[in-house]
């Protein structure tokens, strides 16, 4: 139960901070391309936040958030990392189903965070150097009134000329690692990946139906 709660909190923060960052403030140095990706997402979602009637329709919000997030998040890379060893033993159908349902899980969490948006501000720190020119860690500090600052580090990689997110670390805790632990426990408990996917799909349908009513 504690692991599930922790997983949800981390996922919520990841979604919130990836998709709902206000435009950066007080930076004299020009943002690098990976940082500009995060800023672009922010601007698109912030514009929609101005329309309060828009956020009252959860289905509409979900579709919009999916359209904004998908191009900048590589679920083909994230899904295998999350399943770990179970990805290699999964059938092609199971791999595709898991990727789609996991994507829906994250998108609906993005959407919930989008609706519950608060007054976040962000500071961009110098990116962490990498030995691989196609990978980078974008380091930020996110602040909200009356709350402690949160360190958010985005793992990004360059794919066909575009920077995409494939993991995030919140105060040192990796989204991928946390989900991997959660799903590994569920697979062991339920007895198969197929059952876990079925239950995830059911939760997605129920969550979207409930919020869309």
Q: What pLDDT was estimated at residue 88?
A: 96
| Domain extent at residue 86 | 2-212
Residues ≥6 apart with Cβ < 8 Å to 62: 107, 108, 111, 208
Total domains, the chain? 1
| Number of other CB atoms surrounding residue 160 within 10 Å | 5
Encoded tokens for 46: 């912030």
- Of the candidates 184, 158, 6, the one whose C-alpha atom is nearest the C-alpha of residue 74 is 158
Q: pLDDT of the chain along its 213 residues, tens only?
A: 445 544 444 444 444 444 444 444 444 458 899 989 988 887 787 678 677 788 888 888 888 889 998 999 999 999 999 999 999 999 999 999 999 999 999 888 878 876 765 566 778 898 877 788 899 998 888 887 888 898 988 899 999 999 999 998 988 999 899 999 999 999 999 999 999 999 999 999 988 887 654
Contact 76, 100 (CB under 8 A): no
198: CATH: 3.10.450.710
Distance CA 14, CA 154 (A): 9
């Amino acid at each position: 139960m504690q692991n599930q709660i922790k997983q949800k909190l981390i996922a919520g923060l990841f979604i919130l901070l990836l998709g709902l960052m206000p435009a950066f403030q007080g930076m004299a140095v020009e943002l690098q391309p990976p940082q500009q990706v995060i800023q672009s997402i922010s601007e698109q979602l912030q514009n929609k936040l101005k329309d309060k009637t828009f956020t009252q329709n959860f289905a509409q919000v979900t579709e919009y958030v999916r359209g904004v997030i998908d191009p900048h998040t590589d679920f083909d890379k994230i899904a295998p990392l999350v399943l770990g060893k179970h990805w290699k033993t999964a059938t092609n159908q199971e791999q595709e189903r898991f990727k789609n349902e996991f994507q829906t899980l994250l998108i609906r969490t993005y959407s919930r965070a989008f609706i519950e948006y608060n007054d976040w501000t962000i500071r961009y720190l110098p990116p962490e150097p990498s030995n691989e020119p196609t990978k980078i860690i974008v380091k930020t500090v996110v602040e909200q009134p009356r709350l402690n600052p949160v360190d958010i580090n985005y793992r990004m990689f360059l794919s066909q000329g575009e920077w995409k997110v494939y993991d995030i670390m919140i105060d040192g805790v990796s989204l991928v690692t946390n989900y991997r632990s959660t799903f590994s426990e569920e697979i062991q408990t339920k007895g198969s990946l197929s059952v876990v996917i079925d239950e995830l799909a059911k939760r997605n349908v129920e969550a979207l139906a409930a919020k869309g009513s």
